[in-house]
Amino acid sequence: MESTFNHVPVARQYKLSGMQKFVAERLTASRHETASVTAMAEVPMRGLLEAQDAWRARGIETSLTHHMIHLTAHCLDRHRLLNSTLHEGVVYEYSPINVALAISMPNGDLQAVVIRDASGKSVADIATETDALIGLARDGKLELEHVRGGTFTLSNYGSLRHTVWATPIIPPGQSGVLGMGRARPGVVADDSPQGWHVETVVPLSFTYDHRVINGVPAGRFLEDLADLMIHASTENPHEP
């Protein structure tokens, strides 16, 4: 007899894996417990690309994700309230800035790996550590220490060709998550007679917990992060 659900024939059915069920339950709980708001911005990428070139000139290959982990951690150091969580009426502001990077596994599962004390590391250090963690994740060799303790999450879905914006869900125990979409040509205002020019921009979606931080302070975080991205090329590649 053909199986049905909601009076519709079912092609196949399967149970979630242990990891899938764990992630689903935690994200559902977070969705119900937080007052999520998403702010969005488009930021010119020239500074990031020039920063990449500066590291490459020193023989070190970095990705935009590596630079975004680095800059996000430094921005969180200026906006410590976003490096926190609210539990039973108490805000817990974390001491370390541990950036969790959400990655898509080959089987479609979602996994986050944690770069600990990211604000004290150089882009090169972050690149080495991140790539090692992603390798462990793909090989199924992650340990508990590699995945727990994140205080803020970065999710890069820029590999999707037509996905620009998203409203990422805040992981439990955190107050913010930053999503990065696919870079594309965008109109940027300038001081020329025309008043604008076209250059590559990256879309950002920043979801924060409105119970912990209000809209204006959250907006200042996003503006400061955009400024850090625009001026990324002025950083000394030898400094954290």
pTM over 0.75: yes
C-alpha triplet 213, 219, 224: angle, nearest 5°? 115
**What pLDDT, in 10s, does the model give residues 7-29?**
898 888 888 877 778 778 887 88
Question: Residue written as tokens 């620009």?
Answer: 164
Element containing residue 156 per DSSP (H, E): strand 152-156
Q: Is residue 236 very low, low, confident or very high in pLDDT (cuts 50, 70, 90)?
A: low
Question: Residue written as tokens 């199924």?
Answer: 140
Residue 138 confidence (pLDDT) above 90: no
What is the pLDDT, as a whole number, of residue 1? 60
Q: Is residue 225 very low, low, confident or very high in pLDDT (cuts 50, 70, 90)?
A: very high
What is the pLDDT, as a whole number, of residue 233? 77
- Which one, of 147, 59, 53, 60, lies nearest residue 109 by Cα? 147
Tell me if residue 166 falls in helix, strand or coil.
Answer: coil
What is the rounded average pLDDT of the residues 69-76? 97
Strand partners of residue 40: 205
Whether residue 40 contacts residue 46, with contact meaning beta carbons closer than 8 Å, is answered with: no
What is the rounded average pLDDT of the residues 22-40? 85
Residue 238 confidence (pLDDT) above 70: no
Q: Is residue 235 very low, low, confident or very high in pLDDT (cuts 50, 70, 90)?
A: low
CA distance 106 to 183: 23
- Kindly report which listed range (89-93, 101-105, 152-156, 178-182) carries the lowest average pLDDT score: 101-105
Domains and CATH numbers, the chain: 38-234 (3.30.559.10)
What is the rounded average pLDDT of the residues 71-89? 96
What is the pLDDT, as a whole number, of residue 105? 78
Q: Is residue 234 very low, low, confident or very high in pLDDT (cuts 50, 70, 90)?
A: low
